[in-house]
Amino acid sequence: MERRVVITGVGLITPLAIGTEETWSALCAGRSGIGPITRFDTAEYSTKIAAEVKGFKAEDFMSKKDAKRTEPFIAYAVAAARMAVEDSGIKIDGTNAGRVGVLTGCGLGGLHMLEVTAHTVDSKGPSRVSPFFIPLLIGNMAPGMISILFGAKGPNSSVATACAAGSHAIGDAYEIVKYGRADAMISGGVESVVTRTCIAGFGAMKALSTRNDEPQKASRPFDKERDGFVVGEGSGILILESLDHALERGAHIYAEMAGYGMSGDGYHMTSPPPDGDGAARCMQAALDDAGLKPGQID
């Protein structure tokens, strides 16, 4: 039996602010989170801008011990998840832990850790590699750490589909709740790759904006003068749960998630088909899943 799925909690760590209300206020004020890269020297890079998270302290959201031995993308996910869980008011304990899962999306994971470790191997040898290297590199450590900290023992997974990872994670979590495999899912996206190799790699592809003199106007995906995208970081986490479960505990409901669609272009490694066929099929699949017609979307 299919169940209706609703959103009951939101958590945001963004280049605009630390916190959901703070991020929303910044958006409504028309602020931009894009500025000069501060993580490394960009003198030899054509792109010198990114959307960095500012003022974040991992120890505000986890123990000092965990904060010291974690990568930013994991800390961002944990922080956003903590905000979302608190916002939703959901309690995870021995009575329901197996019915609450975690599913997040992350394209590249701990890329900075990979850079540092590669340098360590080359300069000092393999015996000097940290035992935390692999755990801090892989994207699925974000949902893993969320599971550990909150005791959520239901379905746990990670999606790594580049720019679509966060959306795919939420869609997959929606279907898990919809078909009764969990009552609630902590789900969303996370990334932190404002690093030398990331900016160099996307730069080599000519994929990044070089509007370095106007960083706040660089991200313009639908503008005819668009010159590339801007690398950003942060995390957005939602609490998805069945409508019955949410009503039973008297939760505040933000919205209902009515449908989900996904598609593959089967066209090119980096470019979408000129006619937008893949995007159109994806939207149609979501409409079909929701039982809606295009004219019903306002």
- 130, 43 in Cβ contact below 8 A? no
- Per-residue pLDDT tens for 25-52? 999 999 999 999 999 999 999 999 999 9
Q: Which ranges of the chain would DSSP assign to H, the alpha helix? A: 20-28, 64-68, 72-88, 111-124, 133-137, 141-150, 165-178, 196-204, 243-248, 277-290
113-142 exposure pattern, b = at least 16 Cβ within 10 A, e = fewer:
bbeebeebeeeeeeeeeeeebebbbbbbbb
Average pLDDT over residues 237-244: 98
What φ, ψ does residue 131 adopt, rounded to 5°?
Answer: -65, -15
Predicted pLDDT at 12: 98
- Per-residue pLDDT tens for 64-95? 998 988 999 999 999 999 999 999 999 999 99
**At 83, is the secondary structure helix, strand, or coil?**
helix
- Per-residue pLDDT tens for 180-237? 999 999 999 999 999 999 999 999 999 999 999 999 999 999 999 999 999 999 999 9
- Per-residue pLDDT tens for 115-162? 999 999 999 999 999 999 999 999 999 999 999 999 999 999 999 999
- Per-residue pLDDT tens for 247-268? 999 999 999 999 999 999 999 9
Q: Is the pLDDT of residue 298 over 90?
A: no
- 126, 199 in Cβ contact below 8 A? no
- Per-residue pLDDT tens for 2-18? 999 999 999 999 999 99
Residue 160 vs residues 41, 56, 178: alpha-carbon distances, Å: 28, 24, 22
∠ CA 175-177-182, nearest 5°, is 130
Length of the chain: 298
